[in-house]
Structure 1
Amino acid sequence: MKGSSHAIIGVTVGAIAGYQVQPDPYTAVVSSLVGGVSALVPDLDTNGVASNRITISKELGRWLMHLAGIGILMAITYQYFTIGYTPSILLYGGIGLLFFIISRFITQRRMLTLTGIMVMWLGFVMQQSIGILLAGSYIVIASFLSHRSYTHSLLGLVFYGFILNQLQQEWEIYGLLVAGIAGYASHLIADMKVLPMNRRGVKWFSPIWNKEW
C-alpha cells in the first residue's frame, strides 16, 4: 500500500481514537495529525515517504560534508600561515579529511541514521527528554532494518507505544498515545496479506515467529 493511503487511514483512525479520549475539536485535530504521522512510521525501514520527509537528500548531505571539509581545511591553512604549526592542526585536518571520505560512501539510509542521531542529541538538549531520545533511537534502529521486519511487528508497535507514553507524560497532550498506537497499528493491518493488494504480509510475532499474515 502507498504511503499516502497509509496516511489517510492513520488520520482517520487517529482522529476517532483521540476523540474517544477527549471529545473536543482540538483533540480530534491533534490526534488526526498524530495518527497520520504514526501510520507512516513503520516504513522508516525503507526509502519511502516517511524516511524521505525527515531526512535531507544524500546529494545535499554530500554537498554539506564537502563544504564542511573545505571550511575546516581553509581554517587550518589560515592558522598555519598566521600562528604556525600546532598539534590541533593535525586533529582538525583529520576531521576535514574524514568528512570527504564519509561523503564518498553516504547513502540515503545513512542519512536517516544521522537524522536519528540528531534527534537523540535534541533529546539531550531539551532537558534530557526520554521520549525524544527514544524516538531518535527508533529512527537509528529502523535505518538498519530490512523492510517489513521488526518495525512491522508487535515488537515495533510496543516500542513505539512506549515512546508515545513517554512523550505524552512530558508534553501532556491528550490523545497522543491512543491516536499514535491506532495510526501505527492501522499500517500493520493495512499491510496484511489477507488484503488482495498485498503480495507480502506482516510478521506480527517476529522475531519469535516469522509467519506472514
Structure 2
Amino acid sequence: MKGTSHLFVGTAVGAIAGYAVQPDIRTALIGAAVGGISGVVPDLDTNGLASNSITLSKKVSKWLMETAGMVILLTLIYQTVIYGLSSDIYLYGGIGLLLLIVSRLITQRRMLTITGILVMLLGLVLDQSPGVLLAGSYIIIASFLPHRSYTHSILGIVFYVYILKQLYAQWPVDGLIAAGTAGYISHLFADMKLLPVNRRGVKWFLPLWKREF
C-alpha cells in the first residue's frame, strides 16, 4: 500500500482512537494527527513518504556538502597564498576533503540515519527526553533495516508503544498513546496479504518466525 493510503488510514483510526479516549473534537483532531504520523512510521525502513518527509533530499544534501567542501578548500588556498602555511591547514583541509568525499557516497538512507542522530541530539537538549531519544534511535535503526522487517512486526509495535509512553510521561496529551498505537497497527494490517494489492505480507513474529501474513 502507498504511503498516502497509510497516512489516510492512520489519520482515520487515530481520530477514532482519540475520540474514544476523550470524546471531544480537540482530542479527535490530536488523535488524527498522531495517528496519521504513526500510520507511516513503519515505512521509515524504505525510501517513501515517511523517510523522505523528514530528511533532506539526496540532491540537496550533496549540493550542500560539495559547496561547503569547496568553500573551505578555496578559503584555505587563499589564506595560504596571502598569509602562508598555518597549523590549521591540515584540520580544515581534511574537513573540506571529507565533505567532498561524503557528498559522493551519501545516500537517502544515510540521510535518514543523520536525521535520527539529530533527533537524539534534540532529545539531549530537551532535558535528556527519553521519548525523543528513543524516537531518534528508532529512526537510526529503521534506516539500516530491510523493508517490511522489524518495523513491520509485533516487536516494532512494542518498541513504538514504549516510545509513545515515554513521550506521554513528559507531555501528557489525551489520546496520544491510543491514537499512535492504532495508527501504527493500521499500517501493518493494511500491508497484509489479505488485501489483493499486496504481493508481500507482514512478518508479524520476527525474529522467531519469518512467515508472511
Shift of 1:85: 3.1
**C-alpha distance in structure 2 between counterparts of 1:123 and 1:76, whole Å:** 35
- The one-letter code matched in structure 2 to 1:162 is Y
Shift of 1:120: 1.2
1:194-213 superposed Cα distances (whole Å, 9 cap, x missing partner): 22221111000101111111
**C-alpha distance in structure 2 between counterparts of 1:73 and 1:123, whole Å:** 34
- Pairing 1:147–2:147 present: yes
Could you list the runs of 5+ residues in structure 1 that have no partner in the other structure? none
Residue equivalent to 1:40: 40
Matches within 5 A, 1:26-175: 26-81=26-81, 84-175=84-175
Q: Percent identity?
A: 63
SS at 1:40 equivalent: helix
Shift of 1:77: 3.5
Please, which moves more after superposition, 104-113 or 77-86? 77-86
Could you list the runs of 5+ residues in structure 2 that have no partner in the other structure? none
Shift of 1:81: 4.8
Residue equivalent to 2:15: 15
SS at 1:200 equivalent: coil
Please, which moves more after superposition, 168-177 or 67-76? 67-76
| C-alpha RMSD over aligned residues | 1.4
1:79-137 superposed Cα distances (whole Å, 9 cap, x missing partner): 43565433322111101100000010111111111111111111112222111111111
Cα distance change, pair 79–174 in 1 and its aligned pair in 2 (3 A): farther
**C-alpha distance in structure 2 between counterparts of 1:71 and 1:122, whole Å:** 28
- The one-letter code matched in structure 2 to 1:45 is D
Residue equivalent to 1:177: 177
Q: Runs of 4 or more off by more than 4 Å in structure 1?
A: 81-84
Cα distance change, pair 162–83 in 1 and its aligned pair in 2 (3 A): farther
Shift of 1:75: 3.8
